[in-house]
Amino acid sequence: MNQSTAREILVTSALPYANGPIHLGHLLGYIQADIWVAFQKLCGVTCHYICADDAHGTAIMLKATELGITPEQLIAQVQTEHLKDFTEFDVRFDCYHSTHSEENKLLSEQFYQRNLTAGYIKSQMITQLFDEAKQLFLADRYVKGQCPRCKATDQYGDNCEVCGATYSATELLNPISTLSGQPPILKASEQLFFDLPQFQEALSNWLQSGSLQPEIANKLREWFASGLKPWDISREAPYFGFKIPGYDHKYFYVWLDAPIGYLASFKKLCAQRSDLDFDHYWQPHSSTEIYHFIGKDIVSFHGLFWPALLLGADYRWPTALNVHGFITINGQKMSKSRGTFITARSYLNYLNPAYLRYYFAAKLTPKVDDFDLNFDDFTARVNADLVGKWINIASRCAKFINQFFDHQLSPNNAAPELLQMCQNAQTSIAEAYQQRDFSRAIREIMALADQTNQYIDQEKPWILMKQTDEAARVQDICTVGLNSFRLLTLYLKPVLPSLATEIETFLNIAPLQWVDSKTLLFNHKINLFQPLLQRIDAKQIQQLMDPAS
RNA sequence: GGGCCUGUAGCUCAGUUGGUUAGAGCAGAGGACUCAUAAUCCUUUGGUCGUAGGUUCAAGUCCUACCGGGCCUACCA
């Protein structure tokens, strides 16, 4: 690949909110993006993976108050925990920042100023519910009352869970603030709106760009058809966030500065790296690629507001949104009351993160479908595929090489057809990774593992070993097995980086790169095989699912 | 209420632009082997593709309705 066509990629994952722990639902998205990035890097592509904590908003302000600490203390604590969780799950960000940062403050103000100058920001008086006791304007989720249509009680301020009606919080009957328990009053204030309708035409190009999954393009088309509305980007004090320039008591709404946090995080990375230029990635018509990995719940922010804001501030558009579905646990929504709310930390208390990364990979496709984490299937799949098929190849072959051949691989290729097939699979597996069709990649890898086990079974080295004149043949056969194992390890490396590293040590080889699929290993001394992965015990799952855990 | 997505063997999933007897892995059954973390190998039983209609020479694949699940509906992030 020559200089002019070399890919340069920036990947982001959705920013986790800094008021709670990372859970398995979060992890699905981060691990999906991490695998994709790891694959790019293995191929030698320039690829940066960034993220940050989403640290602003009313919820964080209230949570800090509740804990008797400052918001700054809260978000610092949470960020440390988030980063620890990600690291232990082998999610390797090139930069993990916070939206409550100097970079983000400057960029948010710049986005605002540029959009203001271009005529995309408008001010308007609106009337909202106000909690006099707490001196706060109330977001929909902080108001409960009776549905104006079906009269159901205890409904939140945006829609009715009983009859499905949508309405504005001011229409609720007998509204109550969930913060103070007092009825709110109506209060008028001036708010700033981002004038989304002006981007109608530009966004229709975005829709037709082909860089959105079909399901997502449909969804956007729907919002489009019902008419774009101006977006309220300001919030009244008290609020935890950035003050809007020119106003004493107004702050940017958290969802304005959250996606800008992508740029802030990248800016920080650029400051640390002399080879990186911020503008090269973000200026209009940049030749670089930018991908946002997000969940389907935040498509509106990334599919409508975000491209419009970028355009209004004279930045380029993302190359694509890669949207994933929600996770369910044993077919049920993840929820605390159902006992299916599993945090990253509680998982780590009982299970190896490699299991989860593998299971996610084994079932992830480029589609937006929800993902069911079925623990029976999880156990069967991990044990059968990873331990029974893949690791087993090393285990059964290394025994002979270690014990009878002084750890030395044979100089001969006794099964050129099998190994050629394993090498050729590189093309198709790479294509699957590239398209985020990880499940297809895993299917192909495991099919190769099956064929390798079949080969060993046909050759029966354990029988040949008893015939004194066939020893060299045994060395040949096991060398084939370990060569296959090396290739399979390379193909699994984006998914299982830590295991791959341990295996590189076992095989006594340099860190595997994708181009290493073109080579084989002969006449080479390996190290003593040691068990690399334990099978999952059903008891571990029981402990994890135990509500007390 | 409106909209988007989704429903294939016991479980988890593939099924390319509609085209011969609907596939895989796991689980189950029978057998082989014993090098390997009770791993592996061979053979094999399971499906009127959510339901009911329709279009077509031909439908899991297209259309309609209904049933179940998920999500969105812009101020929870």
Q: Is the CB of A169 under 7 A from strand B?
A: yes
Mind giving me the DSSP string for A153-209? Answer: SSEESSB-TTT--B--GGG-EEEEETTTSSPPEEEEEEEEEE-GGGGHHHHHHHHHT
The pLDDT assigned to A482 comes to: 98
* Pairwise CA distance, residues A15 & A332, whole Å: 24
Residue A4, pLDDT score: 53
- 3-state class of A535 per DSSP? coil
- Find and list the nucleotides of strand B having atoms within 7 Å of a protein beta carbon: 1-6, 11-14, 24-27, 33-37, 39-42, 70-77
CATH of domain A382-518: 1.10.730.10
Shortest CA–C1' contact from A234: which nucleotide?
B75
- Whether CB of A52 is under 7 Å from strand B: the answer is no
pLDDT for A33 equals 95
CATH architecture of the domain formed by A8-113+254-324: 3-Layer(aba) Sandwich (3.40)
Alpha-carbon span A129 to A176, nearest angstrom: 10
Residue A407: strand, helix, or coil = coil
Q: Are A413 and A520 in contact (CB under 8 A)?
A: yes
Q: What is the pLDDT of residues A197-242, one digit of tens each?
A: 999 888 888 887 777 888 888 888 888 877 888 999 999 999 999 9
Residue A188 phi, psi (nearest 5): -90, 145
Tokens 């084994």 belong to which residue?
Answer: A362
Q: What is the average pLDDT across A38-56?
A: 97
Protein-nucleic contacts, chain A 422-451 to strand B, CB < 7 Å: 439-440, 443, 446, 450
A178 in contact with nucleic chain B (CB within 7 A): no
> Can you give the distance from the CA of residue A158 to the C1' of nucleotide B1 in angstroms?
14
- 3-class SS of residue A95: strand
Tokens representing residue A530 in the block: 């040691």
Question: What CA–CA distance (Å, rounded) separates A175 from A180?
Answer: 12
Is pLDDT above 70 for A436?
A: yes
Gap from A366 CA to B16 C1', Å: 15
Rounded Cα gap, residues A34 and A493, in angstroms:
11
- A45: tokens are 């592509």
The domain A121-194: what is its CATH number? 2.170.220.10
Flag whether pLDDT at A295 surpasses 50: yes
Beta carbon of A125 within 7 Å of strand B? no
Instruction: Kindly determine whether the C-beta of residue A286 is less than 7 Å away from any atom of nucleic acid strand B.
Output: no
Q: Do A216 and A299 meet the contact criterion of CB atoms below 8 Å apart?
A: yes
Sheet containing A95-98: give its strands across.
Answer: A95-98, A46-53, A8-13, A289-295, A320-324
Between the CA of A529 and the C1' of B52, what is the distance in angstroms?
Answer: 60
Say if residue A512's pLDDT is above 90.
yes
Q: Distance between CA A460 and CA A477 in Å, rounded? A: 9
Reported as a single tens digit per residue, the pLDDT across A257-281 is 999 999 999 999 999 999 999 999 9
Residue A168, pLDDT > 70, answer: yes
Q: Residue A322 in 3-state DSSP?
A: strand
Interface confidence, given as ipTM, is 0.93
What is the per-residue DSSP string for A230-258? -EE-EEESS-SSPBPTT-SSEEE-HHHHH
CB of A482 nearer than 7 A to strand B = no
A513-541 burial, b at 16+ Cβ within 10 Å, e below that, comes to ebebbeebbeebebeebeebbeebeeebb
Residues 6+ away with beta carbon under 8 Å from A217: A207
| pLDDT of the residue at A370 | 87
Instruction: Kindly report whether the peptide bond that precedes residue A238 is cis, defined as omega within 30 degrees of 0.
Output: yes
The answer to whether the beta carbon of residue A191 comes closer than 7 angstroms to any atom of strand B is yes
Residue–nucleotide distance: A447 CA to B32 C1' (Å)? 22
Quick check: A55 pLDDT over 80? yes
Q: Is the pLDDT of residue A2 over 50?
A: no
Q: How far is the CA of A57 from the C1' of B76 (A)?
A: 10
Do A52 and A96 contact (CB within 8 A), yes or no?
A: yes
Structure tokens at A476: 């040949």
Residues (507-526, chain A) with CB within 7 Å of strand B atoms: none
Mean pLDDT, chain A, rounded, equals 92
Q: Mean pLDDT across the stretch A278-303?
A: 94
Mean local confidence (pLDDT), A233-257: 94
pLDDT digits (tens, 9 = 90+) for A310-349: 999 999 999 999 999 888 888 888 877 666 788 999 999 9
Q: Is the CB of A367 under 7 A from strand B?
A: yes
* Domain extents in chain A: 8-113+254-324, 121-194, 382-518
Q: From the Cβ of A502, is strand B under 7 Å away?
A: no
Sole residue written with tokens 């299982």:
A496
Strand B proximal to A385 Cβ, under 7 A? yes
A205 touches strand B (CB under 7 A): no
Residues lying close to strand B (Cβ under 7 A), chosen from 322-341 of chain A, are: 325-326, 328, 331, 333
